[in-house]
């Protein structure tokens, strides 16, 4: 059986094939950013050359920049947002994109309607959007995750009066607390929705053409995969899957429960992520898209504009580090780079050592410096930036807010055990950095393709969250936006809440084509509150969250 | 816009008892509202992680009988510690101001504590003020208590300290717990006029509270020139609060905080958990952060519907005039009092702990010192909730005490231990920041 992983990066697209725990082949192609699908298929075709029988391909996982690029290049058609902010922060705080309409209608945290909709107002807003020929509409109401009646009504009205338009309601895109993040998540989903459907069609067609019937998954920002078909409504979840691929690659190569930092050091940039007791750390506020927090779960990530090809320069007698302009001199580049500095100072024999030495000497001579001294200073600058970024990430994690007594009493400090190096420039930089930090390091012959490995073996993840209010007799489900009623609300217990969550997870798992994984689900949130009115209990509120965490498919037991 | 530090610690796993107003649910809807608004995502809001305070931080303000561990849960250490986290953030200039939305509350807790009174075991603001004075060397601090209940604990703790201005407005003590906070309570002999109470008529609205703020509190603050303004920020003046009878709104609270402009606010009471707290907390944050709060409204609020009680304006004018007079003539009064008093001022008081049903008796003595605030002693007797009877002696040396007071107080500590009349003897030495607890039954001393 073959497993295929393809990771589309900004510069290169990497792919690997795994067979019985061995990486049997890899491929690398330059990414064509204006046609991501072709980059994926070229790499896939390279890999297929090593496959004896296509029927033996069990699973293909793709980590793609399709959505990331679409947003970055602002290539999408405009979307309009209909917002129901109710009372609270000023409306201006919620504006996003060019076409925001604020309308009446408000719901409170317990799902009570506190202000009715105005049908005439909604109709005139829809007309306005139609006149401007905007075909993508997001509808987001404050507390729609507690009661989506208003959103559903507006959706229906749009379908009736403007059927050509795409309507997305926030309770079905991301049914979580945080109106502002629901706005952003719904907005970016609307912006990329049609393009994502196109991508799915292209991949499907290409696979049929190649006679591949394997299951196909997409890597998400949370380091888990989602079946290609199940991903249709969640294009934004595929954003930042590249760094997630690297982190999962680092964990796949080590597969233990140590505290690690994963550094993916490419030519241009370095991505840093934290792994705590073997589990990658999430960004507490979700993925940030164009400076907006979203409900897209993503790994906590710091990206530094420093890589192996960062250019070393001299300005007014000061050594400078500039962004990548070419390969390292030892690989035929025109400028002295960080890789050359390591080559010279540590005698690493990377590429053509003589060229590293020569180009750094030429630079040093200008200011009467010793080339080794110059290399050392430049390396120190890189090390300081990396060290500071790592320490800042620890601190940020240690400073995350907590809301319960036991969390505060049991809060931990981050003790680093190891640095895992990934990416082309890792071999030079990681050992030096680790010794400066006084910890071990890990490098592997597969470090350069760890991202594709992480992609190939990542398992599907899923997260389900129920808010249950027995006093108001309703419950709502994230991510589906399902609203249900509670039977037996008087005696409803935390155990009932948990089993309700398990039932909903079982359904969702079927939809997502990931049966069996529900057994690995763990409760990451179990809260219950007595609702007391006038000194007696009038109901209970439960918040329960159940999750299949990032991990690896059962077939993967480590790299041999 | 200002940079506002926020520490939200709802203690979702702590309650006095399951149906008590001070229960897990208290800040649940506030969490929902703040999270749903996305306030914590604003670039000028910095959220901080709660932390436990140290025993020593508590001993700087309190005499806990018999010891700190006896009555406190971890939640108390966190509520107090969280205020200190924000104090550090403020003084390290990480933020322009800060708001601790923490529970359990503290403003009814007094210097000596035998248990819980008014839902409070230890006084979060007082602990913070002592911490700030020790760590950052501040002298003049103003605490404005905006809770509907008189902040009797905070008043008691700074009653003899003219460097801490305490102003409390609250529903008239004749109609509400704790039954104190009258205009006559103006401060000890050398701190006279720096304890200002503003008892308000029940059903006073935004108008009345803002009127007092503008015409009394702000002019006094302007004159006092504190280095730090602390808002002891209760939210139970709200018209929906189940324990009180006032008519304040969420917008009213927001405006109060934009005029008062506290440097640090610490949540106190407020038990309308669903119809007031979510909106009032949002309003205070918005006001402190300089965000337009004109779109903030709680569902039950109808503008113009709540009206002032009849005759309130005349009543408020009288109080304003009286308390301005008391404040602005305070130096003359203090110098008269100094002449008429001997070396020591003695007082007998009783303190009632409503939550734990404890009756405490105290004999207090303050040294009237020409050079400093004078050291204070408290002999205290109480039968605690568990039935144990304690007779203890507490000695407190103020942070800026003169050499002679320091010496006398330290000698008194040794003499009292020798006398053998007490179960416990305490020395709170704020000058050296050392806190002695002497247990006579064990014949052992602990020093923090």
pLDDT tens digits along B90-134: 999 999 999 999 999 999 999 999 999 999 999 999 999 999 999
In angstroms, the separation between the Cα of residue A558 and the nearest Cα of chain B is 37
Asked if the model's pLDDT at residue B84 lies above 80, the reply is: yes
Looking at beta carbons, which residues of chain A come within 8 Å of B19? 530, 532, 535-537
Whether residues B28 and A399 touch (CB distance < 8 A) is answered with no
Report yes or no: B18 at the A interface, CB cutoff 8 Å. yes
Sheet holding B264-267, edge to edge: B45-47, B4-9, B97-102, B264-267, B228-233, B141-145, B164-171, B195-200
DSSP A289: E
Q: pLDDT tens digits, chain A, 560 residues: what are they?
A: 899 999 998 888 999 999 988 999 999 999 998 899 999 999 999 999 999 999 999 999 999 989 988 898 887 789 999 999 999 999 999 999 999 999 999 999 999 999 999 999 999 999 999 999 999 999 999 999 999 999 999 999 999 999 999 999 999 998 899 999 999 999 999 999 999 999 999 999 999 999 999 999 999 999 999 999 999 999 999 999 999 999 999 999 999 999 999 999 988 889 999 999 999 999 989 999 999 999 999 999 999 999 999 999 988 888 999 998 988 999 999 999 999 999 999 988 889 999 999 999 999 998 888 999 999 999 999 999 999 999 999 888 888 888 888 888 888 788 899 999 998 889 889 999 999 999 999 999 998 899 999 999 999 999 999 999 999 999 999 888 899 999 888 889 999 999 999 999 999 999 998 999 999 999 999 999 999 887 788 899 999 999 999 999 998 988 87
Q: Which residue of B has its CA nearest to A87?
A: B296
- What is the model's pLDDT at position B389? 97
Report yes or no: B286 at the A interface, CB cutoff 8 Å. yes
Report yes or no: B23 at the A interface, CB cutoff 8 Å. yes
> Among this protein's residues, is B215 annotated catalytic?
no
- What is the model's pLDDT at position A402? 87
In angstroms, the separation between the Cα of residue B134 and the nearest Cα of chain A is 25
Q: Could you give the domains of chain A?
A: 2-72+196-246 (3.30.420.300), 80-193 (3.40.50), 256-448 (3.30.420.40), 462-548 (no CATH)
Whether residues B295 and A537 touch (CB distance < 8 A) is answered with no
Distance CA A165, CA A214 (A): 34
Distance CA B8, CA A397 (A): 17
CATH of region B4-331, choose from 3.40.800.20, 3.60.70.12, 3.30.56.10, 3.40.190.10: 3.40.800.20
- What is the model's pLDDT at position A398? 86
Residue B202 is encoded by which pair of tokens? 């029940």
The domain segmentation of chain B, as residue ranges, is 4-331, 343-447
- For residues B181 and B173, the answer to whether their CB atoms sit within 8 Å is yes
- What is the model's pLDDT at position A412? 78
Looking at beta carbons, which residues of chain B come within 8 Å of A412? none
Report yes or no: A478 at the B interface, CB cutoff 8 Å. no
* CA A538 to chain CA mean position, Å: 41
Distance CA A99, CA B431 (A): 63
Nearest to A532 among B23, B52, B75 (CB): B23
**Average pLDDT, integer, range B231-259:** 97
In angstroms, the separation between the Cα of residue A388 and the nearest Cα of chain B is 19
Sheet holding A462-469, edge to edge: A483-484, A474-478, A462-469, A536-548, A522-533
Instruction: Kindly report the average pLDDT of chain B as a whole number.
Output: 96
Asked if the model's pLDDT at residue B143 lies above 80, the reply is: yes
Number of H helices, E strands in chain A: 14, 27
Out of B62, B107, B108, B436, pick the active-site residue.
Answer: B108
CB atoms within 10 A of CB B347: 11
Query: Alpha helix (H) ranges present in A24-145?
Result: 36-48, 66-72, 119-131
Whether residues A180 and B41 touch (CB distance < 8 A) is answered with yes
pLDDT tens digits along B400-427: 999 999 999 999 999 999 999 999 999 9
Report yes or no: A398 at the B interface, CB cutoff 8 Å. yes
Report yes or no: B25 at the A interface, CB cutoff 8 Å. yes
- For residues B400 and B372, the answer to whether their CB atoms sit within 8 Å is yes
Distance CA A300, CA A10 (A): 19
In angstroms, the separation between the Cα of residue A182 and the nearest Cα of chain B is 9
Distance CA A278, CA A270 (A): 21
- For residues B199 and B148, the answer to whether their CB atoms sit within 8 Å is no
Distance CA A396, CA B25 (A): 28
DSSP B215: I
What part of B 337-396 touches A (C-beta under 8 Å)? none
In angstroms, the separation between the Cα of residue A86 and the nearest Cα of chain B is 8
Whether residues B38 and A535 touch (CB distance < 8 A) is answered with no
- For residues A463 and A265, the answer to whether their CB atoms sit within 8 Å is no
- What is the model's pLDDT at position B209? 96
Q: Which residue of B has its CA nearest to A93?
A: B42
Nearest to A400 among B8, B38, B49 (CB): B49
**Max CA separation in chain A (angstroms):** 84
pLDDT tens digits along A282-319: 998 999 999 999 999 999 999 999 999 999 998 888 89
If pLDDT is split at 50, 70 and 90, which confidence band does B307 have?
A: very high
If pLDDT is split at 50, 70 and 90, which confidence band does B53 have?
A: very high
- What is the model's pLDDT at position B343? 92
Looking at beta carbons, which residues of chain B come within 8 Å of A293? 38, 41
- What is the model's pLDDT at position A388? 95
- What is the model's pLDDT at position A317? 81
Distance CA B61, CA B54 (A): 12
- What is the model's pLDDT at position A177? 95
Number of H helices, E strands in chain B: 12, 17
Report yes or no: B304 at the A interface, CB cutoff 8 Å. no
> Which among B5, B24, B38 is the top mutation candidate for probing chain A, defined by the most A β-carbons within 10 Å of its own β-carbon?
B38
In angstroms, the separation between the Cα of residue A234 and the nearest Cα of chain B is 21
pLDDT tens digits along A201-233: 999 999 999 999 999 999 999 999 999 999 999
Distance CA A62, CA A245 (A): 10
Whether residues A403 and B8 touch (CB distance < 8 A) is answered with yes
Residue B144 is encoded by which pair of tokens? 């404005």
Nearest to B25 among A114, A180, A532 (CB): A532
- What is the model's pLDDT at position A96? 97
Instruction: Kindly report the average pLDDT of chain A as a whole number.
Output: 93
């Amino acid at each position: 059986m073959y497993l295929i992983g393809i990771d589309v990066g900004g510069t290169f697209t990497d792919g690997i094939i795994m067979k019985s725990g061995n990486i049997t082949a890899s491929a690398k192609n330059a990414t064509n950013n204006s046609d991501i699908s072709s980059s994926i298929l070229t790499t896939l075709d390279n890999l297929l050359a090593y496959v004896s029988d296509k029927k033996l391909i069990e699973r293909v996982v793709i980590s793609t920049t399709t959505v990331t690029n679409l947003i970055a290049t602002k290539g999408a058609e405009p979307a309009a947002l209909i917002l129901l902010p109710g009372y609270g922060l000023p409306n201006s705080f919620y504006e996003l994109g060019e076409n925001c309409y604020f309308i009446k209608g408000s719901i409170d945290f317990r799902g009570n309607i506190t202000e009715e909709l105005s049908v005439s107002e909604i109709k005139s807003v829809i007309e306005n959007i139609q006149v401007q020929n905007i075909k993508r509409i997001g509808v987001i109401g404050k507390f729609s995750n507690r009661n989506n009646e208003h959103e559903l009504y507006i959706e229906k009205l749009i379908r009736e009066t403007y059927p050509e338009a795409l309507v997305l309601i926030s309770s079905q895109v991301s049914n979580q607390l945080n109106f502002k993040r629901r706005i952003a998540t719904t907005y970016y989903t609307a912006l990329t929705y049609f393009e994502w459907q196109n991508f799915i069609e292209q991949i499907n067609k290409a696979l049929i053409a190649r006679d591949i019937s394997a299951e196909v998954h997409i890597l998400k920002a949370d380091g888990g995969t989602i079946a290609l078909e199940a991903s249709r409504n969640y294009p934004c979840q595929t954003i930042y899957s590249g760094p997630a691929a690297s982190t999962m690659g680092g964990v796949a190569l080590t597969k233990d429960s140590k505290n690690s930092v994963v550094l993916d050091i490419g030519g241009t940039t370095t991505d840093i992520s934290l792994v705590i007791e073997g589990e990658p750390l999430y960004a507490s506020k979700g993925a940030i898209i164009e400076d907006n927090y979203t409900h897209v779960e993503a790994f906590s990530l710091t990206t530094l504009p420093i890589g192996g090809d960062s250019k070393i320069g001299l300005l007014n007698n000061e050594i400078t580090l500039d962004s990548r302009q070419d390969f390292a001199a030892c690989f035929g580049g025109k400028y002295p780079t960080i890789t050359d500095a390591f080559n010279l100072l540590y005698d690493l024999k990377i590429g053509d050592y003589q060229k590293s030495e020569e180009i750094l000497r030429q630079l040093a001579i200008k200011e009467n410096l010793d080339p080794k001294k110059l290399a050392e200073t430049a390396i120190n600058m890189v090390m300081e930036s990396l060290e500071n970024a790592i320490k800042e990430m620890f601190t940020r994690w240690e400073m995350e807010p907590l809301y319960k007594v036991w969390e505060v009493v049991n809060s931990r400090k981050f003790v680093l055990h190891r640095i895992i190096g990934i990416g082309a420039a890792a071999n030079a930089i990681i050992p030096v950095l680790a010794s400066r930090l006084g910890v071990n390091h890990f490098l592997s012959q597969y470090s350069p393709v760890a991202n594709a490995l992480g992609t190939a073996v990542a398992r599907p993840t899923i997260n389900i969250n129920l808010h249950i209010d027995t006093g108001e007799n309703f419950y709502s489900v994230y991510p589906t936006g399902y609203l249900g009623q509670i039977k037996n609300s008087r005696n409803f217990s935390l155990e009932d809440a948990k089993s309700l969550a398990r039932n909903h997870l079982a359904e969702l798992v079927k939809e997502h084509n990931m049966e069996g994984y529900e057994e690995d689900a763990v409760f990451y949130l179990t809260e219950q509150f007595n609702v007391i009115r006038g000194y007696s209990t009038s109901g209970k509120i439960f918040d329960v969250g159940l999750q299949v965490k990032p991990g690896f498919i059962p077939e993967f037991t480590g790299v041999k | 816009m200002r940079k506002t530090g926020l520490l939200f610690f709802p203690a979702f796993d702590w309650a006095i008892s399951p149906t008590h107003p001070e229960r897990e649910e208290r800040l649940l809807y506030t969490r929902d509202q703040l999270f749903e608004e996305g306030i914590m995502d604003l670039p000028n809001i910095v959220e901080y992680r709660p932390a436990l305070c140290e025993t020593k931080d508590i001993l700087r303000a309190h005499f806990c009988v018999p010891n700190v561990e006896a009555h406190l849960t971890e939640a108390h250490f966190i509520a107090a510690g969280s205020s200190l986290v924000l104090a550090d953030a403020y003084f390290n200039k990480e933020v322009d101001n800060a708001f601790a939305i923490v529970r359990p509350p503290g403003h009814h807790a007094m210097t000596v504590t035998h248990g819980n009174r008014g839902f409070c075991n230890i006084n979060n603001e007082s602990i913070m003020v002592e911490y700030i004075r020790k760590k950052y060397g501040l002298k003049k601090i103003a605490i404005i208590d905006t809770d509907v209940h008189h902040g009797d604990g905070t008043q008691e703790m700074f009653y003899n300290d003219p460097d801490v201005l305490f102003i409390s407005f609250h529903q008239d003590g004749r109609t509400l717990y704790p039954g104190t906070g009258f205009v006559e309570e103006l401060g000890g002999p050398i701190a006279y006029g720096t304890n200002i109470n503003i008892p308000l008529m029940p059903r006073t609205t935004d108008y009345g509270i803002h009127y007092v703020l503008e015409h009394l509190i702000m002019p006094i603050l302007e004159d006092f020139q504190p280095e730090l303004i602390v808002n002891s920020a209760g939210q139970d003046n709200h018209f929906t609060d189940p324990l009180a009878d006032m008519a304040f709104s969420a917008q009213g609270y927001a405006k109060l905080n934009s005029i008062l402009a506290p440097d640090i606010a610490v949540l106190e009471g407020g038990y309308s958990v669903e119809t007031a707290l979510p909106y009032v907390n949002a309003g205070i944050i918005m006001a402190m952060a300089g965000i337009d709060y004109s779109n903030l409204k709680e569902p039950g609020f109808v503008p113009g519907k709540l009206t002032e009680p009849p005759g309130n304006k005349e009543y408020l004018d009288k109080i304003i005039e009286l308390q301005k007079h008391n404040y602005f003539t305070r130096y003359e009064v203090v110098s008269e009092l100094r002449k008429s008093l001997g070396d020591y001022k003695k007082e007998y008081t009783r303190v009632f702990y409503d939550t734990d049903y404890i009756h405490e008796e105290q004999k207090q003595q303050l040294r009237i010192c020409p050079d400093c605030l004078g050291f204070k002693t408290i002999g205290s007797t109480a039968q605690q909730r568990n039935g144990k009877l304690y007779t203890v002696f507490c000695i407190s040396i103020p942070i800026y005490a003169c050499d002679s007071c320091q010496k006398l107080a330290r000698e008194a500590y040794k003499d009292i231990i020798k006398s053998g009349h007490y179960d416990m003897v305490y020395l709170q030495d704020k000058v050296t920041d050392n806190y002695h607890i002497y247990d006579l039954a064990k014949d052992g001393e602990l020093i923090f």
